[in-house]
Structure 1
Amino acid sequence: MKKFIFLLAVSVMAACSQAPENEVRITGVIENPTAADVEVFYYKDFVTNQTEKVETGLDAGNAFESLLPLTEGRFVYVSQPRRNIMLYLMPGADISISFNAEDPDQLPAIEGKKALESRFLVSYNMEVERKYNRSIILNQVGSTSAEDFRQMMEDAYAEKLAFLEGHDDYRKLDKDFVNIMKTNFLYEKYGLLLDYPMAFAYFNPEAGDPELPEDFFEFLESDDLFDDEYLMSRPYFSFVNAYLNRHAEQNTDPESELSYYERQYEFAREIFTGKTREALLAQNLVYLLNFGTTEAGEKYYADFSALVQTPEYRELIDAEYQTIKALASGQPAPAITLTDIDGNEVSLSDFAGKVVYLDFWASWCGPCMREVPFAKELKKRMEGEEDLVFFYVSVDTDETAWRNKVAEMEIKGVHVNVPGFSHEVPSSYNLKGVPTFYLIGRDGKIFDNRPPRPSNPLVDEVLKAALEQELV
């Protein structure tokens, strides 16, 4: 009876309005919710993994309604902590969903307009994907010979295809959806085969490289291995990245002075064509702009701009370039006003006339924790420099974990916390990962947008240069 009322409530909600053709409408009721809101999103691209998302609060009955702009078929995720449900929706879809956020074994109930593909997908993920997801497969590599592993991949591929083509509603499924699922199946297989030698060596460090049949990588010789039509498939995009990595490892000159991402860019330019090449160039240029030298970023941005014609990639890179330029040395540091660890409001502007060593970090971040002892030594060396401020911005979503780590590690400085990377403060600093450092000069402008970490021997020199800067 309870289940009947639960589904009836969802059906009534779905009947109240219709989704426009350039949007999707998702209504739902969540049993045992693990948060007060639900996030609905999809990935707009695989180059930067930017998402289109909406967060909606649950009402008193744990129901929600979300409208998400959508102009083409996409994998859409309905997410709560501990439960992430993947759907496939097309423009104009108007569906209702019910699920138990604490029970991953319960199949979500999905009804409504253009819901058929999503019903298939949750069933597929429950019955097939669970057996063959990447982490499960890779954990078996260490005890599996190359020939047996190849057969395992063929069997998994055949089972996935059989589940799709043998489904009662197979002929009713959207053709684009069927094509992308088949593409996913194929490149999941190819990607795992490509990763086999490295994974085997990882699990068997003393055994060295595995013995491979001569034709183990024969599939790499296929004439249609790369196809721009497959770029909507994440497994395809992951595979071409793995292929690029393999090519770079086999062909990099040991004497090369190019950085990792410079080499990746150059090899992608050389061995790929079409939109697949443009996507890989864009991806590696994003890394170069964010983590490479300014000179390398400018060089490859100019090359990309002259070479790439696809508007979506040009727009993406142009936006990234402008963001990086806005955070270059000499630009005003984005404002920060937050509540510190003691409950007091603190702003970056409070330290006008001083030098601020800004550290974005998280309690769960191993590299961040490895910098802490070096930071303590740095503070000892800088003792007496009253105009030097160590300002820590944690991106922990668990505030207790943040507070505990500050106390446990005895991290001295100004401490504030924001819940994740999407908060406006890390977003304003274009935060891509942690740890990330900025050095703010006495004038409130960025002195160095990639200063040395505390573990870098050059850090003292850079901090002292900022302290010696005279205000104009």
Structure 2
Amino acid sequence: MTKSIAALLLCLITAGAAFCQKSITISGKITNPASDNIIAVNASNTRIVPENKQEKLILDSSGAFKITIPVTEQYNWLILVHNNIRLDFFAEEGSSLMLTADGAHFDTTAHFTGRGMEIPNYFAAAVKSRGGIMAYYGSLQQMGQREPSDYKQGIDSLKQKEQAIYDIAWMSKKNKFPKDFTDFWHSFLEYSVYDAMLNYPLTHQMILHQPTELQNIPKPLFDIIRQVPAKFDDKLLSIPFYQTYVQTFYGNKLSAEGFSNQVIRNPDGTEERSKALQQTDSVLKLVYKNMPSGTASFAAGRIIATESKTWPLQTFETYAAGFKTHFPKSGYNAELENVLKEIKKFYPGEPAADFSFKTLEGKEMKLSDLKGKVVYMDFWASWCGPCKGEMPFAKRVKEHFKDNENVVFLYVSIDEKEDAWKNGINNLNIAGMHTRTPGWGGEIARLYEVQSVPSYFLIDKNGKFVVNKTPRPSQTDEVIRLIEGLL
């Protein structure tokens, strides 16, 4: 009898199936705490609308804390943040961990004891030696600046190095590292490469500050996408890189063959979405036909939920109905119903929720004070790589409107620390109006249901939303056209 089956039987016998909630418990003590709290985030879930729930815990007078994190997967990507320093690691469901760390060097002094400690300690050690998961991801992204001729070799080398380091550690502790976690981690690394390859043309252009509109991307960059294999497996759905891989696989493959999903403009300036919807039709047909059931329901649901921000309500309802026809018993149907409710809140013509804020200069304001002006609102963070990548493009947009006082660029940072926020503004030389809503749970971020950064909203002179999905600054011509149409 395996350990997991034995645990399940014990749970059923002692508590009943309804109470068999999977969880991970972490207690700990931070010496020399640099702030009065620690934030815990579970980044692993298979929702079609990504949800990284966080919980802020206040440390007691000795620096101690305890949290029980509900989980849905066997292996979960957890994030602990103290004093704006994050520690990323994986832990198995059912683990009961004790963490010790020094607050001044939270990530590099972290150490775990207790049941299930081996896996998180491997990742804690990786932070000390080479920066950990996020450093690996950052290196993958930086590879995007390479030309196609040596890009694939570069990312393969990164993956192989990371895998070799793990395999050496596993061989030395093979009685403590579960074999199925080794398979999980190998797949994590494999799909991190596939995901990077699928996004290579856009990443390459952004790093080099070149146009990101599909028609302006050099054709040779798309050769990398053509090399990505079709490898689908329902057992891998808990891996974040597998999730983004299946979501973007067919759409990016079609783009590589010249099938544009860009908005088409009619001569009179109105939008024609038929081309984009034709691509969505094609993508969903391929997903339904070629992916296994679990992967197909996730990929189709994620595509519909994500793209819905650019569609009329009737179009979304049509796609949601098609999804329900294919997967009538899927729990994702309820998620799509919730997406519909959210779309209506941010639909063009709906009033933008008002909020109070304090500017960088200390002035107390409300969003409604800006009525009569067009507001381009940017949710960002100083630690966010994609946010930083958009800033040079934002500078071009602001330069275009530099003499127009009726256009306001409002930057809302989710930085936890005021110093990090201010340093980010100075280091990136971000001109505009600034405020801060600390963390994902900050008042303004919650009001606008911001689940990721960067996120953008365009608000007209009457304080109403303009489009379902506001284009990024890197879509420079599109942003300028929309704002000019509101003046």
User: TM (normalized to structure 2)?
Assistant: 0.66
Q: CA, structure 1 residues 63+302, in 2 after alignment: closer, same or farther (shift >3 Å)?
A: same
Offset from partner CA, 1:142-182 (integer Å, 9 cap, x none): 698699669847954862563364142x3444565344224
Q: Structure 2: how far apart are the matches of 1:234 and 1:46?
A: 11
Q: How does 1:422-433 map to 2 (within 5 A)?
A: 422-431=441-450, 433=454
Residue 374 of structure 2 contacts residue 408 of structure 2 at CA under 8 Å; is this kept in 1? yes
Partner amino acid for 2:70?
Answer: P
Indicate if the aligned counterparts of 2:200 and 2:221 stay in contact, CA closer than 8 A: no
Give the match for residue 166 of structure 1.
171
One-letter identity of the residue aligned with 1:27: S
Radius of gyration: which is bigger? 1
* CA pair 266-33 structure 1, distance change in 2 beyond 3 A: farther
Task: State the one-letter code of the partner of 1:400.
Answer: K
The 3 A distance-change label for structure 1 pair 171 and 22 is: same
Tell me, which stretches of 5 or more residues in structure 1 are unaligned? 1-19, 383-388, 464-472
Q: 2:269 corresponds to which residue?
A: none
Q: Cα–Cα, structure 1 residues 296 and 369, in superposed 2: closer, same or farther, change >3 Å?
A: farther
335-344 or 319-328, which deviates more: 335-344
Q: What residue in structure 2 maps to residue 322 of structure 1?
A: 341
* Partner in structure 2 of residue 17 of structure 1: none
Match of 1:276 in 2: 295
Superposed displacement of residue 86, structure 1: 0.9
Deviation at 1:198, TM superposition (A): 9.7
> Does the CA-based 8 Å contact 1:41-1:76 persist in structure 2?
yes
Structure 1 segment 385-400 matched on structure 2, within 5 A = 392=410, 394-395=412-413, 397=415, 398=418, 399-400=421-422
CA–CA separation in structure 2 for the residues paired with 1:191 and 1:393: 29
Q: Is the 8 A contact 1:393 1:418 kept in 2?
A: no
CA contact (8 A) 2:374 2:486 kept: no
2:110 is equivalent to residue 108 of structure 1: yes
Does residue 28 (structure 1) correspond to residue 54 (structure 2)? The answer is: no
2:458 alignment counterpart: 437
Whole-angstrom distance in 2 between the partners of 1:220 and 1:403: 41
The residue that corresponds to 1:82 in the other structure is 85
SS in 2 for 1:334: coil
| SS of equivalent residue, structure 1 residue 456 | helix
SS class of match (1:283): helix
Paired residue for 2:237? 231
**One-letter amino acid of the counterpart of residue 67, structure 1:** T
Q: Supply the AA of the counterpart residue of 1:372.
A: K
Whether contact under 8 Å (1:248, 1:267) holds in the other structure is no
Q: Match of 2:398?
A: 372
Q: Equivalent residue for 1:42?
A: 42
Amino acid at match of 2:293: G
Partner of 1:308: 327
Equivalent residues of 1:261, 1:284 under 8 A apart: no
SS in 2 for 1:220: coil
2:253 matches 1:247: yes
Deviations 1:380-432 (A, max 9, x none): xx6xxxxxx958352253453588699984x5x8x654235542323322345
Shift of 1:258: 1.7
Counterpart AA for 1:320: V
For structure 2, the 5+ residue unaligned runs are: 1-19, 209-216, 262-273, 383-387
Does residue 363 of structure 2 align to residue 357 of structure 1? no
Q: CA deviation at 1:300?
A: 2.8
| Deviations, residues 287-314 of structure 1 (Å, cap 9, x unaligned) | 3122455564444333334333464422
- Given that 1:288 and 1:296 are in contact with CA atoms closer than 8 Å, whether structure 2 keeps it comes out as no
Tell me how far 1:228 sits from its aligned partner: 0.7
- Which secondary structure does the structure 1 equivalent of 2:399 belong to? helix
Match of 1:418 in 2: 437
Q: Deviations over 1:81-101 (max 9, x none)?
A: 23423131413x331111245
Distance between the aligned counterparts of 1:220 and 1:187, measured in 2? 10
Higher relative contact order (CA 8 A, sep 6+): 2
Superposition deviation, residue 61 in structure 1: 3.6
Aligned match of 1:258: 276
Does residue 180 in structure 1 map to residue 184 in structure 2? Answer: yes
Kindly tell me: are residues 372 and 265 of structure 1, through their superposed partners in 2, closer, same or farther at Cα, counting changes over 3 Å? farther
Letter of the 1:336 counterpart = F
Aligned residue type for 1:316: E
Partner of 1:70: 71
SS in 1 for 2:53: strand
Q: Quick one: which amino acid aligns to residue 456 of structure 1?
A: I
RMSD (CA atoms): 4.9
TM-score, normalised to structure 1's length?
0.68
Identity %: 16
Q: Are residues 29 and 143 of structure 1, via their aligned partners in 2, closer, same or farther at CA, if it must alter by over 3 Å?
A: farther
Query: Residue type of the partner of 1:395?
Result: S
1: CA distance, partners of 2:155 / 2:410: 49
1:323 CA drift (Å): 0.9
State how many pairs are aligned.
419
The structure-2 alpha-carbon separation of the partners of 1:434 and 1:207, relative to structure 1 and needing over 3 Å to count, comes to closer
Does residue 1:58 correspond to 2:59, yes or no? yes
- Is the alpha carbon distance of 1:21 and 1:313 closer, same or farther for their aligned partners in structure 2, counting shifts above 3 Å? closer
The code of the aligned residue for 1:231 comes to L
Other structure's SS at 1:118 match: helix
On the 8 A contact 1:40/1:76 being kept in 2, the answer is yes
For residues 48-96 of structure 1, give each alpha carbon's deviation from its aligned partner in whole angstroms, at most 9, with x where no partner exists. Answer: 43112211233444333333223543222222323423131413x3311
| Cα pair distance change 1:375/1:304, threshold 3 Å | farther
Distance 1:425 1:402, change over 3 A: same
User: Which aligned pairs between 1:116-155 and structure 2 lie closer than 5 A?
Assistant: 116-123=118-125, 133-136=136-139, 139=143, 152=157
Aligned to 2:229: 220
In structure 2, how many angstroms separate the alpha carbons of the residues matched to 1:104 and 1:183?
29
Letter in 1 for 2:185: M
Distance 1:108 1:416 in 2: 32
Alignment-derived partner of residue 13 in structure 1: none
Question: Is the contact made by 1:161 and 1:182 (CA closer than 8 Å) also made in structure 2?
Answer: no
